[in-house]
Amino acid sequence: MSLSLNEEIPDQIKVLILDHHTSFAEGTVSLLAVEPRITVVGVAKNENECLEFVNTADPDVVLLDSCSLKLSRTDFIGRMKQINSHLKVIILTDLNPAAFILTYGDKGVAGFLLKDCSVREMIQAIFRVYEGETVFSEGLETSPRSLINNNNFKVPLVANKSMFQLFTSREVEVARLMNKGLQNKEIAAALGIKKRTVDLHIRNIQKKLKVTTRLEAVVKWAYIDL
């Protein structure tokens, strides 16, 4: 049985799990087993084991339990991406998710999920980040804009109103819909254009914002488009 969002994806997605709770990690492995196109290539109990798996197992996506991360260790994501620049990272969180979004939102993380999300949502999130999209759990009642307003979040000074002149009117439309949480297919439908055109616009937006991930683009756009 397949629960993925995109039935056309032919690839075998390799997933690595970082969770120091063995029982929870085993539960996640069991949940993902219902999707034949997802293979769990390892379960790490700490950051060092995780880095070793990233180096040897070449995963596509890493699911990180927030309890296994330290807010002060923001370099960990970067260390993984130095080993595998194409790696997609999803953080599973429960308590105070805003803290992790604020801390890791511009560190190359592709998504944030609540630990009690459904198996369908988790599998869909894995396929979406694999395709280059950003995901926020349906239960996360927050947004980059609200985080900025409520937490005095600061991004590099390069993000300011004067940057608007760098973007075409269509890119502004795409960026605003992306900021609202719409995925590429939904943006394409809303604007009456093809998905591959949206993909191109988002690549251009990221390039102009000087960021490498969709989440970084969402956070930085929210700052300049307040």
At 76-89, the pLDDT tens digits run 888 898 999 889 99
State the Cα angle at 191 between 167 and 224, rounded to 5°. Answer: 35
Number of structural domains the chain divides into: 2
Of the chain, the percentage scoring pLDDT greater than 90 comes to: 34
The verdict on 17 and 103 lying in the same domain is yes
Q: What are the residues whose beta carbons fall under 8 Å from the beta carbon of 95, sequence distance 6 or more?
A: 66
Phi, psi for 62 (deg, rounded to 5): -115, 130
pTM above 0.85, yes or no: no
Domain edge (last residue) among 142, 173, 204: 142
Phi, psi for 64 (deg, rounded to 5): -110, 125
Domain edge (last residue) among 122, 142, 162: 142
- Tokens read off for 180: 């609202």
The verdict on 136 and 161 lying in the same domain is no
**Domain range enclosing 181:** 147-224
The verdict on 43 and 131 lying in the same domain is yes
At 88-131, the pLDDT tens digits run 999 888 765 566 666 666 667 888 888 888 899 999 999 989 98
